[in-house]
Structure 1
Amino acid sequence: MQRRLFALTALASLIGLSACQKPAGTTASPASANAPATTPTAAASTAGANDPAISTAQDAYVLAATGNGFSTGPIMSSHTAYVFFDTTCPHCAHLWQNAQAVAGQLKVVWIPVAFLRPQSLSQGATILSAADPIAAMNENEASVANHGNGITVAASLDDEVIAKVKANTSMFKQLNSDSVPLIVYRNGKTGEVGQHAGAVTGPELLALVGL
């Protein structure tokens, strides 16, 4: 029992080192001073803040598939992982960089959330609404990895895109996670469905989905 407890504690420590959590006593604002106010219609589409938490891994995978994001990798891939990320999270930047090495083998849907800082909302919306979301993501993650402030927020952001990031954030909260990046996956070999909090290497990402 002591050995098992030690193993679990060690695992928790590793996850803590590879994921970003909000500092105790702080909250991430659902809006930003640079973000436009949402209309009643857009606000309605973000409903879910009070939705019950997802109780099964299968439900979590199905829910993640409805997130608002952009994808990398083969469009028709039979293996898909969903990653909830925050634009201000350095561990998310590491996962993005690591995933590039296996981009030809796995489809990953990147879902921005407003979790860590107020600017996460407007930066996530900027990436999501970009003409080339992958290029915008590259710009943001390269900046964050080098201790920068991330992508410059677009001068004008559509209310609907802001609403999508808010909806993603509500969804993220339903998944009972308190850190990013959050990977939601299904293993093609075993059928196992699960979640992993924290950055992983490219080969580890493939292993999660059974490749």
Structure 2
Amino acid sequence: MKLRYLTLPLVAALAMGLSACSKEEPASAAVTAIAPAQAYDAVAAQAKGFTVGALMSAHTVYVLFDPQCPHCGHLWNAALPLLGQVKFVWVPVAIMGPKSLPQGAALMQAADPVATMSAHEQSVLSGQGGMSASSSVPSDVAAAIQTNSNLLDRLGADSVPFIVARHTRSGQTITRSGALSTNALREFLGFAQP
């Protein structure tokens, strides 16, 4: 009887864990935390990434992602149908392994971020490891990705993708780890369903 009561929370926890990728290393204890209500302003001021979607949109959604995370690839695909109404800033972090930094740098510097990210995520999701990227990363780009990774820690996130946005109806800062379907993402952000 007790086993039945433990099974449901365990299944729910596993399901939540399957929609996000965790860091290789735990966050440093010396990290200065950012309060949840301040998350949007902090990310807007400090994060560096590439912008896609409706560039003139009043709705900016920040997605902190690791290029090696398949769940980030699922979220990328789910966000594509929303590019006509939302401005997304994809913010690379390097938390999952040695390929994360060079791939994040290549994505940040891509001439066509949508095509490059789509091809990269297709490669990741098919198990091929993503794009080939030079290990020689410009120091300013490496520093930006390190700042993004530190920002992820300060936000208290322990997995990616990590979404930071303002709810379109309430204006409240909202955050969430993990991938979502297009409809779930639309609902999370506060957009009406089509």
Q: TM class, shorter-chain normalised?
A: 0.7 to 0.9
Distance in 1 separating the partners of 2:58 and 2:9: 32
Q: How many residues align?
A: 184
DSSP-derived class of the 2:96 partner: coil
Q: 1:17 deviation in Å?
A: 1.4
Query: Which residue of 163, 167, 178 corresponds with 1:198?
Result: 178
| 1:77-116 mapped onto 2 (5 Å cutoff) | 77-116=57-96
CA distance in 1, matches of 2:119, 2:64: 18
Structure 2 partner of 1:64: 43
Aligned residue type for 2:16: I
User: Cα distance, 1:10 vs. partner?
Assistant: 6.0
Question: What corresponds to 2:3 in structure 1?
Answer: none
CA distance in 2, matches of 1:60, 1:10: 30
Percent identity for Structure 1 against Structure 2: 40
The 8 Å contact of residues 52 and 113 in structure 2, kept in 1 or not, is answered as: no
Change (3 A) 1:10 1:99: same
Indicate how the Cα distance of structure 1 residues 11 and 194 shifts in structure 2: closer, same or farther if over 3 A, else same: farther
d(CA) in 1 for partners of 2:86, 2:10: 31
Deviation at residue 142 of structure 1 after TM alignment? 0.7
Aligned to 1:140: 120
Counterpart residue number, 1:19:
20
Cα deviation, residue 52, structure 1: 0.5
1:19-52 deviation line (CA, Å, top 9, x unaligned): 1113xxx539xxxxxxxxxxxxxxxxxxxx9540
* Counterpart position of 1:165: 145
Query: 1:139-181, CA deviations, whole angstroms, 9 ceiling, x for partnerless residues?
Result: 2111001011111113743211111111110111101011110
Task: Name structure 2 gaps, 5 residues minimum.
Answer: 1-5
State the TM-score, normalized to the length of structure 2: 0.85
Note closer, same or farther for the CA distance 1:184–1:163 as it changes in structure 2 (3 Å cut): same
Query: What SS does the aligned partner of 1:100 have?
Result: helix
- Residues of 2 paired with 1:165 and 1:131: CA distance? 18
SS at match of 2:88: strand
TM-superposed deviation, 1:132:
2.0
Measured on the aligned residues, the alpha-carbon RMSD in Å equals 2.4
Instruction: Trace 1:24-35 onto structure 2 (pairs within 5 A).
Output: 26-27=24-25
- CA offset at residue 85 of structure 1? 0.4
Of 147, 160, 166, which residue of structure 2 is paired with 1:180? 160
- TM-score by length of structure 1 reads 0.79
Which 10-residue stretch deviates more, 111-120 or 149-158? 149-158
The one-letter code of the counterpart of 2:41 is: V
AA of the residue aligned to 1:18:
S
Instruction: Look up the SS of the partner of 2:94 in the other structure.
Output: coil
C-alpha displacement of 1:7: 8.3
